[in-house]
């Protein structure tokens, strides 16, 4: 086989059936091999960034490896944002790019770029393949590495001559997955249990590591048994399910008052699969000031990185959670007063939004999302772009599983949602997948409407259109004396006409009495459909914490109005 055929052989041996890519000169030998291949579905996106973000969405929704392919030069550089996005959120991804022939490397040849140098900080590991003889082993290693331990993207850059060169067929199957995942079965949890039993106000704080470890079921059983009041990060939304009696919602910059207050007053913080991100903690030295900390994570690099912990348990979450669940079953915690207090806070300080019943009233983002949550099936996958709509979904949509909520967390990548939704739809062609976007973020990768039409994906798209960069406008209003700068998008295209130009049906709504009909119509349609939702330009996400401030200093609409009135009085 030649090098290109070795790549496809690795796909087959590792059960990789779907890849996202865009052809070009130096990767052309691989595309030539695809002509005769059986078993690999190649999805042609319309921009390499779309390829990487679709592979990301595929991995998030399915829990499997996402794969993207591009050529050298601009093909590789266009992948970088999507790969960085996967790296920041620990998404398993295999990235394959063509490179100029070996003899031309370092000569500034046509479409040559230093992929290894440019991507050093956004991959788990990278390879520049020297010969076809080593390609099969590198592929096996890269696929295993991307998925083991803390997942992440692995990049394989292959010169064109290596793709064309012959090499012996692989004579053995890939090695079995590392046994490291079972090591935590013997982790000593006795100290952790002692700390939990001595605490009067313990709080569970979980993140995206739960689904990365495929520990959703173990976590759900643990939360139901331990009955700890709980908060989640953006990536941890759905961990506890939509019916958890003790869940307080998301914490942090746009978290609920109940969640942030519980963190502020707890005396023990049990952190599971979360990295104490600045958007979650706010000003770090004021975060959970009265609490001892137990941190459970697969990655040693996250332990004591931002906060010194009192106890660290490193290893596979499944084994640790199952052991702790067993302990709680035999002796439940006596924290009824704390549970009652947290439920009271959630009643008065949870996420709330008025469902305006006035027929002619304008649509608000929170009210729309709450309606969507009530109408859409429980197993619907929501792929969000980045902006105000992203926070409204995080606050008001009731997710029953973390893999139903796809959102760019660490990098905050505008344009993520549409290609990620495409990837999620390929992960399960029968599932209901909805991309919720803002008008600004939708335009970042709108070319992928062509991908949706080409494959006739039954994907639903919702654009919450306020004709501006809403999140930037909000921060300029609150923290920059309302000095608006380069956020106006009132020259947006007609999104309904735009969708129809791609042969995708579309609707426009602008009043509250149209919400239910609009949502039910797109969900009932057997094929792709877009719903354009006009919302007010001045609408903000509440509450909010000023970047770098303490989570105690949450600003809501009432406080903002008071502050504005005081400023006007002084003026």
Which residues are marked as active site?
48, 110-111, 160, 471
Tokens of 399: 């997710």
Q: What string of DSSP letters covers 478-524?
A: HHSTT---S-B-TT---HHHHHHHTT--EEEE-BGGGHHHHHHHHHH
Asked if residues 391 and 364 have their Cβ atoms less than 8 Å apart, the reply is: no
Asked if residues 436 and 499 have their Cβ atoms less than 8 Å apart, the reply is: no
Asked if residues 66 and 423 have their Cβ atoms less than 8 Å apart, the reply is: yes
Asked if residues 423 and 53 have their Cβ atoms less than 8 Å apart, the reply is: yes
Torsion of CA 497, 502, 505, 507, to 10 degrees: -30
Q: Around Cβ 493, how many Cβ atoms within 10 Å? A: 11
Tokens of 427: 């992960």
Tokens of 505: 């049906």
Tokens of 292: 């001892």
Distance CA 317, CA 323 (A): 10
Distance CA 217, CA 43 (A): 31
Q: Around Cβ 257, how many Cβ atoms within 10 Å? A: 19
How far from 225 is each of 221, 324, 423, 533, CA to CA, in Å? 6, 9, 35, 42
Asked if residues 344 and 519 have their Cβ atoms less than 8 Å apart, the reply is: no
């Amino acid at each position: 086989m030649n090098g290109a055929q070795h790549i496809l052989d690795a796909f087959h041996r590792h059960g990789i059936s779907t890849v996202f890519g865009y052809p070009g000169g130096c990767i052309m030998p691989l595309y030539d091999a695809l002509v005769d291949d059986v078993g690999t579905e190649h999805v042609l996106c319309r921009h390499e960034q779309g390829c990487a973000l679709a592979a990301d969405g595929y991995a998030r929704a399915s829990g499997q490896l996402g794969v993207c392919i591009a050529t050298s030069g601009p093909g590789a550089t266009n992948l970088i944002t999507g790969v960085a996005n996967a790296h920041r959120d620990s998404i398993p991804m295999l990235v394959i790019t063509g490179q100029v022939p070996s003899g031309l490397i370092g000569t500034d040849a046509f479409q040559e770029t230093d992929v290894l140098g440019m991507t050093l900080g956004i991959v788990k590991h990278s390879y520049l393949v020297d010969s076809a003889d080593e390609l099969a082993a590198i592929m096996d290693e890269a696929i295993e590495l991307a998925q083991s331990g803390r997942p992440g993207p692995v990049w394989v850059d292959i010169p064109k001559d290596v793709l064309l060169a012959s090499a012996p067929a692989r004579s053995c199957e890939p090695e079995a997955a590392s046994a490291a995942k079972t090591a935590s079965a013997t982790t000593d949890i006795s100290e952790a249990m002692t700390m939990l039993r001595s605490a009067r106000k313990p709080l569970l704080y979980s993140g995206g590591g739960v689904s990365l470890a495929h520990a959703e079921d173990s976590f759900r059983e643990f939360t139901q048994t331990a009955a700890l009041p709980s908060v989640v990060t953006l990536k941890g939304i759905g961990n506890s399910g939509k019916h958890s009696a003790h869940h307080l919602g998301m914490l942090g910059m746009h978290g609920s008052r109940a969640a942030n207050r519980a963190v502020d007053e707890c005396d023990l913080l049990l952190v599971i699969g979360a990295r104490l991100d600045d958007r979650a903690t706010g000003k770090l030295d004021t975060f959970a000031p009265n609490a001892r900390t137990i941190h459970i994570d697969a990655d040693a690099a996250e332990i004591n990185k931002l906060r010194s912990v009192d106890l660290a348990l490193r290893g596979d979450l499944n084994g640790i959670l199952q052991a702790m669940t067993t302990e709680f079953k035999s002796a439940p915690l006596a924290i009824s007063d704390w549970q009652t207090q947290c439920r009271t806070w959630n009643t008065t300080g949870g996420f709330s939004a008025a469902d305006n019943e006035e027929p002619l009233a304008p649509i608000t983002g929170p009210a729309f999302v709450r309606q969507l949550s009530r109408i859409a099936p429980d197993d619907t996958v929501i792929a969000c772009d980045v902006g105000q709509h992203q926070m409204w979904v995080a606050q008001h949509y009731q997710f029953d599983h973390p893999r139903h909520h796809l959102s760019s967390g660490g990098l905050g990548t505008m344009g993520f949602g549409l290609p990620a939704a495409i990837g999620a739809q390929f992960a399960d062609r029968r599932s209901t997948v909805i991309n919720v976007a803002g008008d600004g973020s939708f335009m970042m990768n709108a070319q992928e409407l062509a991908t949706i039409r080409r494959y006739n994906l039954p994907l639903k798209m919702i654009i919450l259109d306020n004709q501006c960069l809403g999140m930037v406008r909000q921060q300029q209003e609150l923290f920059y004396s309302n000095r608006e700068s380069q956020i106006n998008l009132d020259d947006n295209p007609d999104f309904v006409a735009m969708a129809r130009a791609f042969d995708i049906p579309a609707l426009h709504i602008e009043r509250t009495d149209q919400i239910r009909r609009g949502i039910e119509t797109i969900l009932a349609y057997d094929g792709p459909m877009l719903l354009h939702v006009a919302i007010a330009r001045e609408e903000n996400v509440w509450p909010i914490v000023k970047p770098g401030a303490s989570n105690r200093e949450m600003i809501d609409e009432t406080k903002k109005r008071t502050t504005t009135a005081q400023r006007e009085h002084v003026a």
